[in-house]
Amino acid sequence: MRAELEGHSMVGEVRGVGILSAVGMMRDPKALVSFEPEVQVGARPAASLFEHGIIGRAIPHGDILGFAPPSDHHPGQIDIIVDATAKSVDTTYRALKAEAAM
């Protein structure tokens, strides 16, 4: 997850332990500028992920998207989660730019 998303224009931090992971999103990661709470950025990629059949959880404090894949996964499933997450973050970023929220 880290290798795929670090450096994204909207990703401030990718963190995790083992298969548990979280993606923190910011208006300007380099300047550490957060989104306004009413934008509810974490919920947007979570909804997009659900369209790909993946459950990501929008963590309410700090525009964070969290994951807890099942412990009986196989490596290919993790690749699917990472790919879908990158696409969902990109989709969210483009939508926010169109709304002038970026």
**pLDDT tens digits, 18-59:** 889 999 999 999 999 999 888 889 899 999 999 988 999 998
Domain total of the chain:
1
CATH code of the domain in which 10 resides: 3.90.1150.10
Is the model's pLDDT at 10 over the cut of 90?
yes
List the helix and strand counts (H, then E) for the chain. 3, 4
- Say what the pLDDT of residue 86 is: 95
Where are the strands (E) in 18-56, listed by range? 20-25
Domain hosting 7: range is 2-98
- Say what the pLDDT of residue 38 is: 82
Is the model's pLDDT at 102 over the cut of 70?
no
Is the model's pLDDT at 87 over the cut of 90?
yes
